[in-house]
Each structure stands twice: as C-alpha cells, then as structure tokens.
Chains A and B, each alone.
Chain A
Amino acid sequence: MPTLPDVLAKLSFLTTTPAVIGLVITAGLIVVIRDWRFSLAALLGQYVLVGLLLTQLIQPQVALTKILIGDLVCVVLYLTARLVSESSEALPLQPEDSDFPLKVGGDRGGEGVDGRSRRLAPPTSNPSTRLRAGLQPPTSKTGGEAPLADFAFRLLAALFVGLAVYSLSRRYPLPEVPSDVGFACYWLASLGLLVLMLTDEPLKAGMGLLTFITGFELFFSVLERSLSVVGFLGIANFLIALAIAYLTGVSEAELTAGEER
C-alpha cells in the first residue's frame, strides 16, 4: 500500500505551475458555468489542487486535512443540490419556450447537465414568486440567446478580473509564498468575489464564498501554521457548507410553496 509521501511523489508533477493553471480553470468554471454539477466538480478539483499546492508549502498531513475538509464540503453541497434538483424535476416539464424559464440545475436558471433547458411548468405568473426565484425578467423570446449572452458576459467578466489579478499580483506580491501561488490566491479570492456579485442564489453564492475563502486559506496557511487555527478554519468551512445547504433547502421549499400557489 502506498504511503502518503509515495502518493505525493507521484503527484509532484501537478504541483506549482500545473496546479495554478488548474486553479485558474476550476475557478473560471465556477464563474462561467451555471450548472451546479460542473460547478461543484470544479470546486472539488479546486480543493484538491489547493491541497497539492499546499503540500509544497506546509506539512503534507495538514494539506491532506484541508483536502478532506474540502471533500466533506463538496459532499454536503452535492447532497443538497441533488435533493433540490430532484424536487424540481418532480414537477412536470413544459416542452415549449415560456417567458420565465425555470431550468433544472444551476441557480434555478441554468441548463441541465445535457445542455438542454428544462423548464418547469406551469410558468408562474406571480411576480412575487418570480422575484423570490431570483429569475430575471424576460429578455429574449428566442430560447438560446439569453443563456449565450449570460455565458459571454460571465466569461468577459472573468477575463477582466483575470487582467486585474495579474497586474495586482505583480504590483503587490504576497509575502512568504512563491509568485505563482500568490497569483493563485489573488485569482481564487477575486473570482469568488465575482461569483458573489453575479448571483444571489444560495448554492452558487456559497460556491463563490468558498472559493474566496479557499484563496485566502492558500495564503494564510503559510503564514499561520498553528494546528488549532487549521482546525478552526476547517470547522468554519464545514459550517459554511451546512449554512449554504440549509439556505438552499429553505429557498427551494419556499419556491415550491410559491409554485403550488
């Protein structure tokens, strides 16, 4: 059975630059893709890559603990999103386009894992319910344009933030960490903030918040190596995941109640 140092030695090709590139991709996916399955997979990948980066900077056992906490967080979010998604899918589907598409997956306005929009019927005519669902007013009568515009907007926003992060990391390099790790910290924190700005749906916003905190932890773990701090941060991460799960569940329950009305 391979020991931890063996595993880390085998994964050493993934540390530093490849891991930073991986983090750029995973955080970018969380911003750009609205489907919760892809976003959650990206978040999981992010925790693993951050853990691998940390093995070069702090004790490998501590880095491994952070990966495990990240896995737990993703499990909590996955179970919640799955339950919410199933309860949405239980409602009848309406094949044709409607003014207010409530798509399964994503932040109640995303696309299904198969890439097709799945709309819940009946489309609500109650403005309050629409407001609560976080749905935007209709912008396009032609089904595919709005998601494409949304995708393009998110991509553009991520690119602009990327430029800002690049200049920020060169101008104000973070102390105690290599420059590429510093860039990864800035990137994760900035894209986490961007997600928070772009959505008010608990699950997606929660992923943004966790991305922001992951970026901070990547830097802070090097500064503060106390095990008790690691423990506190782990507890905080897990509690945030539980809070997000709770808010997502309550939000879904209210939306369902709104649909029933």
Chain B
Amino acid sequence: MITAPLFLMVLPLALAPVVYLLRRWALLAASLASATALIMASLCLGLTFDRPASVLGLEVVLGEPMMVLGREFTLELAGGLTVGFICLIAAIAFLFAWRVSQGGLFFPLGLIILSLLNAAVMIRHFLFAVLFLWIASIIAVFVVQGDRQGPSLRRVSKAASGQATGPFDRRRPELAEGLSTSLRAGPGRGALRYLVMVSLAVPPLLITPWLIDFQALNPDNLALLRYAAVLLAIGFAILLAVVPFHSWVSAVAADAPPVVAAFVLTMTNAVVLLLMLELLQSYAWLPENLQVFRLLRIGGLLMAALGGLLAFAQRDFGHLLGYAVLSDMGCTLVALGVASPTALTAALLQVAYRSVGLMLTAMGLAVVHHRVGSDSFANLAGVARRLPLSTAGLVLGGLSLAGMPLTAGFPSRWAIYRLLSAPDLALVMLLSGAGVAFGYLRGLSILLAPSPESNVKREPIIASLMILAMIVLCLGLGLRPQWLLPPIQRVVESFGFLAAQR
C-alpha cells in the first residue's frame, strides 16, 4: 500500500527518463506519457478518500499524508481535483503532440513538470510549494523554447531565403511580413521572459511566511502583516500576469509551440490560483482585509480590459491567443474579487472551461502552424479550405475564450457578469470578450478568404479527430455547463473563508 502523494510525485518522475529514451518513437513516448497522466487523473478525479484505490496492481491511499524530510504532503479535496485537472490536460496535450510535434523534450519534461506541480499542490508548507512551482517553471522554459530549429522554422527560414518550400512558393511577398511577425518575439524571448518573471515573483513569496511567523511572535507589530500582504500581492500579481506584469503571457503564447503554451498557461495558472486560495484559507487576517479583494477586482479588470483591447489589434494567432488568455484570466480574478461562494464557483468553472477553449484553439493553431509554418494572418489566406477542422477548432476555441454563447467559455462568463454589482464593470468585461471575439473573427475572415492554388497539405487524421472531439466537448459544455458543477461546488464548500466574509 502506498500513499497518493508518493504515487503522484514518483510515477511521472520515474517514467520521464524512459519517455526521454523513447522520444524518437513518438507514438510510444506519447502513449506512455499520456497514459501516465491519465492514470493519475483518474485516480484523483475518482476521489475515493475513504478507501484505497487499486492502480497498476498497487493499492493507493488518497487521504493518507506522507512525510519527507519533516515536511507533510497530503492530498485534500481541492488539491485532488486540481491534480486531476492538470493531469487530464497533460494527457490530452501529450496525446496530441504525438501527431503534431511540440518539441522533442515535451514528453519527458512535461512529466517532470507534472510531478513538481503535483508536489506543489500537495505539500502543506507554502514556502516549499512556491519552490516546487519555481523549479517546475524553470523546467518549463525548456519546453516553451521547444525545438526552435524544428521543421516549421526551417521551412520558414528557407522560404525567406528563396528556396522552394511547399505552401510558400507562390506567396513570397506576403512571407516577409509573416516572417517578421513570427520572429517579433525574437529567439527565445518568450522563454526568457517567462523565466525572468517567474523568478522575480518567487522572492516576495518566499519572504512572506517568515514575516507572518515573525508577526506571530510580535503580535503588536501589525506593520509586518502589511508588508506580508504587499509582498504576496506583488508575487501573485507577477504569477497571474496582472497588468503591468502581463507581458510574459503573450510572449509565451507567441513563442512557444501552441499546445505547450496552453499546457503551461493552464497548469501553472491552476496551481497558482489554488495556492492563493489556500493562503486565504490559512491566514484569517488576509480575507478580513477587504483591500485584498479590491485589488483582485482592479487587477482582473485591468487584465480583461488590456487583453480585449490588444487582442482586437493582433495580426497573428500566437499573440491573439496570449491576449485572449489574459482577458479570460482577468475575468477569473474579477470573480474572485467579488468574494462570495457563488463567485468562487463561477471563477473555478471558468478555469476549467478556459482549459477546454485554450486547448482547442491551441490544437487548431498547432496544425495550422505545422502545415503552413506561420501563424501570421498575412500567410493564412484560404487555409481554411485545406484545414477545415483545424480552422474550426482554432476559431471556436478562441470564441470560447471570448465567452461567446454556445461555447464552453460562455456559462461561467455569464455568471460572472451577473454577479458584478456595477454595470460598468460588466460592460468592460463584455467589451473585453468582444475584442477577443473580433480578433478571432478577423482571423477567420482571412482563413476563409479566396486565395490562389495552395500547396498546404491536408490536416493529419488523428489530430483532426482529436480536434473534433474537443469541438464536441466545447459545444457540449456550452450547452450543459452544470456537468462540472457538483465537484466544483464541493471544492468551494471546503474554502470556509468566504463564508466568514458573508
């Protein structure tokens, strides 16, 4: 019999070297990585805390804590669902990367990142959770950078130099603009910016526990708590990409392979939000300070407004994806800032539904990028005729991020609009979504535009089937949003600090 924390940390870590050795056989590596993530997801989403679950012939106890070097690891309800959620996203990403490569290191390093994020969720000490998150983010830099000398980049490079390369042969004039757009982020700039921003966020978060402990020894010194709150605000603002610390999101989205960008943005965001909620739950003085929730509302509003505004003006799908995510993350923060159980439910629903829209648009973009070699609007005229499902996934996922009706992103957004007491706030959020939607519709009009004969190859069948499945899921969740409601409501009930707010 083994404890769940041990299983969830050691299994992906142990399989990472095996997957690395198998990386040349994409099917094997993807299957192994995906199966590992899926097993962990099914274990956590089953949530059988009261009795051991049988996995791979091992009896795994979910509720049993584990001690390592005097630190306690334990899996509780919110943590269990978060781990299950990120493992599920990872499983989908790994499987998709089998057909549309996202870089040779994605499978092994993805498993290591998964292991570290699981550890960050399960450890009962905030300082170590931040350290695990930091190390996971540093490792993510390697996958964000990806295989930049890979086939698609080489194809773009050759096209720019005048060598014949498939779809670009008849489009040399447009390519110059497309190439400069695709290189706007510069070599490794997204990865570097991500590394720098995450590393800048860590010191304030690491100092906070000491300040809080020190204040406990000096209860009269309330200034220490004020400093702690300011440091927490800075650290979380950077990690959650609150304006003006937002630039890394669009840089990562534009620079990383699309599915890797979705993987990193979804998983780290979910873990950071969980850490923030657990902190609010652990320290009663934090939720008692109404400025905390005001800051969340203002930060979220700025993110949503800026994301929507900039998404409106983008000329490539990479940056558009980044600003769409920024806008959506802003809505989540605004919902958290409302500080009520209903708003927290809406916020957590949005995190879950955002992952569907984000993964769907990333999958579509990955196929387009793989086949055309660029994500710039200037190079994508008429591509929809050759890549219909990818185009549908790309645009539908984007519309879901914008919160358009009938998509997965709509129900939670609608709930958030209704929860906002000030109509002006709801209007800003609505306009933000409209900006994102307009950006994707503009992209769609170019994808559908008539074009000369195209040499773009048809989309890969298995990748198309996966996109189709995600489209069905996205529309299904838009029509039946209550499907995910029961587990999320249980998580919300476990956070008592909001009840105290009332």
Asked if B308 is at the interface of the complex by the 8 Å CB criterion, the answer is: no
Measured between alpha carbons, how far is A132 from B179 in the docked complex, in Å? 11
- Is B157 a contact partner of A257 (Cβ separation < 8 A)? yes
A223: B residues at CB distance < 8 A:
207, 210
Q: Is A33 an interface residue (CB 8 A)?
A: no
Residue count of chain B within 8 Å CB distance of chain A: 39
Please provide the chain B residues from 173 to 214 with a CB less than 8 Å away from any CB of chain A in the complex: 179-180, 183-184, 186-189, 191-192, 195-196, 199-200, 203, 206-207, 210, 214
Question: A251 to B203, Cβ gap below 8 A?
Answer: no
User: A128-B183, A209-B196 are contacts. A251–B188 as well, Cβ < 8 Å?
Assistant: yes
In angstroms, Cα B126 to Cα A229, docked, is: 12
**By the criterion CB–CB under 8 Å, are B149 and A257 in contact?**
yes
Q: Tally inter-chain residue pairs, CB-CB below 8 A.
A: 101
| Residue numbers in B under 8 Å from A247 (CB-CB) | 141, 145, 187-188, 191-192, 195
Residues of B233-286 whose CB lies within 8 A of A:
none
Partner of B145, one of A127, A175, A240, A246: A246
B127 CB–A CB distance under 8 Å: yes
Is A240 a contact of B138 with CB atoms below 8 Å?
yes
In the assembled complex, B456 has its CB within 8 A of some CB on chain A = no
* Neighbour of B187 across the interface among A212, A243, A250, CB < 8 A: A250
Residue of A nearest to B162 (CB): A261
Looking at the assembled complex, report how far the CB atom of A118 sits from the nearest CB atom of chain B, in whole angstroms. 21
B142 within 8 A of A: yes
**CB closest residue in chain B, given A213:** B199
Contact of A253 with B by CB under 8 A:
yes
Contact with A along B64-94 (1 / 0, CB 8 A): 0000011100000000000000000000000
Task: Determine whether A232 belongs to the interface, using a CB cutoff of 8 Å to chain B.
Answer: yes
Cβ-defined contact, B142 with A224, below 8 A: no
Q: How far is the CA of A246 from the CA of B195 in the complex (A)?
A: 12
Q: Contact between B131 and A240 (Cβ–Cβ < 8 Å)? A: no
Taking a contact as CB atoms under 8 Å apart, the answer to whether A254 and B149 are in contact is yes
B140 to chain A, nearest CB (A): 9
B160 within 8 A of A: yes
Determine which residue in A131, A220, A250 has the highest number of CB atoms from chain B within 10 A of its CB, and name it.
Answer: A250
Whether the pair A131, B183 counts as a contact (CB closer than 8 A) is yes
| Contacting residues of chain B (405-429) with chain A, CB-CB under 8 angstroms | none
Name A195-209 residues within 8 Å CB distance of B: 196, 200, 202, 205, 209
Is B69 touching A261 in the complex (CB atoms < 8 A)? no
| A77-119 interface with B by 8 A CB criterion | none
**Contact: B135 with A236, CB < 8 Å?**
yes
A134, CB-defined interface residue at 8 Å: yes
Point out the residue from A134, A250, A261 that lies within 8 Å of B148, measured CB to CB.
A250
The answer to whether the Cβ of B441 comes within 8 Å of any Cβ in the partner chain is no
Known A-B contacts A202-B188, A205-B196, A228-B69; the reply to A220 vs B203 at CB < 8 A is: yes
The yes or no answer to A255 lying at the interface (CB within 8 A) is yes
Q: Is B161 an interface residue (CB 8 A)?
A: yes
B446 within 8 A of A: no
- List the B residue with the shortest CB-CB distance to A233: B131
Which partner residue on chain B sits nearest A134 by CB separation? B186
Q: Evaluate whether A212 and B200 lie within 8 angstroms (CB atoms) in the complex, with A223-B210, A228-B71, A261-B161 already known.
A: yes
Which residues of chain A are within 8 angstroms of B214 by Cβ–Cβ distance? 175
Q: Does A151 contact B (CB under 8 A)?
A: no
**CB-contacts of B95-151 with A (<8 A):** 127-128, 131, 134-135, 138-139, 141-142, 145, 148-149
Docked CA distance A127–B195 (Å) = 27
B68 to chain A, nearest CB (A): 9
A223 to B134, CA, bound (A): 19
CA A251 to CA B186, docked complex, whole Å: 9
Cα–Cα, bound, A232→B127 (Å): 11
A239 and B139 within 8 A (CB)? yes
Please give the distance in Å from B342's CB to the nearest CB on chain A: 38
Q: How many angstroms from the CA of A244 to the CA of B196 in the assembled complex? A: 10
Specify the chain B residue showing the minimal Cβ separation from A223: B210
Q: Cα distance A127–B180 when bound, in Å? A: 8
Q: Is A38 an interface residue (CB 8 A)?
A: no
Q: Which residue of A lies closest to B140 (CB)?
A: A243
Closest A residue to B209 using CB positions:
A224
* Chain B residues in 8 Å Cβ range of A235: 135
List the B side residues contacting A196 at CB < 8 Å. Answer: 196
What would 10 more interface pairs be, CB under 8 Å, given A243-B195, A246-B145, A257-B149?
A: A202-B192, A220-B206, A223-B210, A229-B127, A232-B131, A243-B138, A243-B142, A250-B148, A250-B187, A254-B149
**Pairs of residues from A and B, 8 with the lowest C-beta to C-beta distance, nearest first:** A261-B161, A247-B188, A251-B187, A216-B203, A254-B187, A232-B131, A243-B141, A239-B138
Sample 23 A-B pairs with CB under 8 A, ordered by A number. A126-B160, A131-B180, A132-B187, A134-B186, A189-B203, A200-B186, A202-B188, A209-B195, A220-B206, A228-B71, A228-B128, A232-B128, A235-B135, A240-B195, A240-B199, A244-B195, A247-B145, A250-B145, A250-B148, A251-B187, A254-B187, A257-B149, A257-B154
Residues of B in contact with A (beta carbons under 8 Å apart):
69-71, 127-128, 131, 134-135, 138-139, 141-142, 145, 148-149, 153-154, 157, 160-161, 179-180, 183-184, 186-189, 191-192, 195-196, 199-200, 203, 206-207, 210, 214
